[in-house]
């Protein structure tokens, strides 16, 4: 991972991280904020997830590093790409592909339900991306409308691998995670579960 310093404004707002000029906030979480940024030389738009390591305990830090490791492994047209990881003593910056179409959830709110042809196309893209993950023994565990992004051509880009993990076909997982409206029932029962099946439940 590269180690660089971010250039800050007097009031503390970062205006540059490495070769990326920061634009605006496009997402927020408990311990992270996502900024739209532009590469200074190529002018490529990217999304940078900014994580304050001082706010995380050891378990959450392990999850972050696992997320990074998994994203580095995944190269698929319908999965958000991780371009670069920049780390300082206090901060982590995950530079990723920018999906300019935003969340499919917001797209549906703004434009209403999709026609059957469009819905079928996007469903195939989701299936292809999830199957790709499972073929590499990786489970997402938080598939939901808010984590399905759209690129400029309105193609699916699966994002947010914060709950993802490796799995073995011969073993079950037992960690509770995911989002209640979408998660498979076994995740709420405190029982061991088959990793790929929890992703398949959400898709169905």
Active site positions, annotated: 142
- For residues 184 and 196, give the distance between their C-alpha atoms in angstroms, rounded to a whole number: 11
- For residues 198 and 76, give the distance between their C-alpha atoms in angstroms, rounded to a whole number: 21
Instruction: Domain 16-97: give its CATH code.
Output: 3.30.200.20
Q: What pLDDT is recorded for position 1? A: 52
- For residues 162 and 24, give the distance between their C-alpha atoms in angstroms, rounded to a whole number: 22
Ranges of H-type helices in the chain? 58-73, 104-111, 116-135, 195-203
Bridge partners of 98? none
Q: pLDDT averaged over the chain?
A: 90
pLDDT band at 171 (very low <50, low <70, confident <90, very high): confident
Per the model's pLDDT, the better-predicted residue between 182 and 14 turns out to be 182
Kindly state the tokens that stand for 32. 């992270």
Half-sphere exposure of 93 (CA within 13 A, CB side): 25
- Cβ 94 vs Cβ 51: under 8 Å: yes
Domains of the chain: which residue ranges? 16-97, 102-202
Q: What pLDDT is recorded for position 19? A: 94
Contacts 24+ apart (CB under 8 A), 76-81: 76/128, 76/129, 76/132, 77/155, 78/125, 78/126, 78/128, 78/129, 78/155, 78/156, 78/157, 78/158, 79/129, 79/132, 79/133, 79/157, 79/158, 80/47, 80/149, 80/157, 80/158, 80/159
Helix (H, G, I), strand (E, B) or coil at 162: coil
pLDDT band at 183 (very low <50, low <70, confident <90, very high): confident
Instruction: Domain 102-202: give its CATH code.
Output: 1.10.510.10
Q: Is 49 assigned a ligand-binding role in the annotation?
A: yes
pLDDT, tens only, 59-82? 999 999 999 999 999 999 999 999
Poorest-confidence range of 6-15, 25-34, 43-52, 131-140?
6-15
Residue 30 CB neighbour total at 10 angstroms: 7
Percent of the chain scoring above 90 in pLDDT: 74
Q: What pLDDT is recorded for position 51? A: 96
Q: What pLDDT is recorded for position 174? A: 79
pLDDT, tens only, 100-148? 999 999 999 999 999 999 999 999 999 999 999 999 999 999 999 999 9
Mean pLDDT, residues 21-47: 93
pLDDT band at 189 (very low <50, low <70, confident <90, very high): confident
- For residues 122 and 109, give the distance between their C-alpha atoms in angstroms, rounded to a whole number: 16
Kindly state the tokens that stand for 14. 């970062």
Q: What pLDDT is recorded for position 129? A: 98
């Amino acid at each position: 991972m590269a180690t660089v310093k971010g250039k800050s404004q007097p009031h503390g707002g970062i205006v540059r991280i490495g070769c990326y000029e920061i634009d605006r906030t496009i997402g927020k979480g408990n311990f992270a904020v996502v900024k739209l940024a532009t590469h200074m030389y190529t002018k490529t738009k990217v999304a940078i997830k900014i994580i304050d390591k001082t706010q995380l305990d050891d378990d959450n830090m392990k999850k972050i590093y696992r997320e990074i490791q998994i994203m580095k492994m995944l190269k698929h047209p319908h999965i958000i790409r991780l371009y670069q990881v920049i780390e300082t003593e206090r901060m982590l910056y995950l530079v990723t592909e920018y999906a300019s179409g935003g969340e499919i959830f917001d797209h549906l709110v703004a434009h209403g339900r999709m026609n059957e042809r469009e819905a079928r196309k996007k469903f195939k893209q989701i299936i292809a991306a999830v199957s790709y993950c499972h073929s590499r023994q990786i489970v997402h565990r938080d598939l939901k409308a808010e984590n399905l992004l759209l690129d400029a051509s309105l193609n699916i880009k699966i994002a947010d691998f914060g709950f993802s993990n490796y799995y073995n076909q011969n073993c079950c997982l037992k960690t509770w995670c995911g989002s209640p409206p979408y998660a498979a029932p076994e995740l709420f029962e405190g029982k061991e579960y088959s990793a790929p099946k929890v992703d398949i439940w959400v898709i169905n």
